[in-house]
């Protein structure tokens, strides 16, 4: 059996990136890609690579996930995450959980045990019982986000989701997402990131996608599944991503972006926000390429 050339792509969110945050967005996405690529280069699984990459983004206050998460209406951090693998359509997700350092790890552990979505206390209890890294919920509050919440400031440089898609040497595709939601959101609000078909989708026969943007706009158009279905029709990932975003714009209001890999490892992404932080790596490259906008 011939092995597949591994590929990984990450996004740090569709958003407006202020000039003083551009370098941090580049550096964070490259660090995430490098963490995932290290796994793939050692012939590790796409699931392990996606988890490793997103854990880096969840630890970086530049991004709205984990430690960089926005605060809800109660001044607390509640996070969502999900992961899906394309071989058997396995998936796992958590939503509105607190005090879990890496929600993507909780999602992956759920996927490997039994596909389901666990919310709030059930997700937190699952993470604790499975030995995942916990912390006092206040430790996930970033000072910058706290000040913005306290002052009710308009947040510009703050995406709704981070994500990753990877193809491993066995030809398996995996997509993952993680988010801190929307600044000032009602306690318990869940967007697209934890929802299979909207925030992510993976199917080895077609491709895989992770989305970012306004959850309430992404959910009704099932953005990730829409993009992957276009791959299934033979569309190049770049065109499939563009088609999916155009479809969203034609039906609802809102900003969104998506990253795609098809089963051959071809890369694509598109967005209708001002900017989108993206980085990717493959065997054809000497080092990761990173972008904050696409010409």
Give the separation between CA 113 and CA 129, rounded to whole angstroms.
Answer: 13
Residue from 67, 47, 46 nearest 56 by CA: 67
Residues 6+ apart with CB under 8 A from 210: 11, 161, 163, 164, 165, 175, 176, 177, 199, 200, 224, 258, 259
Give the separation between CA 72 and CA 79, rounded to whole angstroms.
Answer: 10
Helix, strand, coil fractions of the chain, as percent rounded to 5: 35, 25, 40
Q: Fill in the DSSP letter of residue 178.
A: E
Any catalytic annotation for residue 212?
no
Helix or strand holding residue 166 (H, E)? strand 162-167
Catalytic residue among 161, 177, 179, 226, which? Answer: 161
Give the separation between CA 32 and CA 122, rounded to whole angstroms.
Answer: 28
Residues acting as catalytic residues: 161
């Amino acid at each position: 059996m011939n092995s597949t050339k591994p590929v990984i792509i990450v996004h740090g969110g569709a958003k407006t990136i202020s000039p003083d945050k551009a370098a941090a967005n580049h550096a964070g996405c490259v660090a995430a890609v490098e963490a995932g690529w290290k796994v793939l280069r050692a012939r590790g699984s796409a699931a392990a690579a996606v988890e490793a990459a997103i854990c880096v983004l969840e630890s970086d206050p530049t991004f709205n996930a984990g430690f960089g998460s926005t605060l809800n209406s109660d001044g607390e951090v509640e996070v969502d995450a999900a992961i899906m693998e394309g071989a058997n359509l396995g998936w796992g997700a958590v939503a509105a959980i607190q005090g879990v350092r890496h929600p993507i790890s909780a999602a992956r552990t759920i996927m490997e045990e039994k596909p389901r979505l666990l919310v709030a206390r059930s997700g937190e209890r699952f993470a604790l019982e499975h030995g995942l890294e916990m912390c006092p919920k206040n430790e996930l509050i970033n000072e910058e986000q706290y000040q913005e919440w306290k002052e009710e400031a308009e947040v510009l440089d703050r995406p709704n989701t981070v994500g990753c898609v990877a193809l491993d040497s066995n030809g398996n595709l995996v997509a993952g997402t993680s988010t801190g939601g929307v600044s000032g959101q009602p306690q318990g609000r869940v967007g697209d990131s934890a929802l299979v078909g909207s925030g992510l989708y993976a199917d080895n026969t077609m491709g895989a996608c992770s989305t970012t943007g306004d959850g309430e706009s992404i959910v009704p158009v099932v953005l990730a599944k829409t993009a992957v279905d276009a791959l299934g029709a033979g569309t190049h990932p770049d065109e499939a991503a563009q088609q999916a975003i155009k479809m969203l714009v034609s039906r609802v209001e809102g900003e969104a972006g998506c990253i795609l890999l098809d089963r051959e490892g071809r890369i694509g992404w598109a967005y209708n926000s001002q900017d989108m932080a993206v980085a990717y790596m493959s065997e054809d490259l000497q080092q990761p390429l990173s972008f904050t906008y696409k010409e």
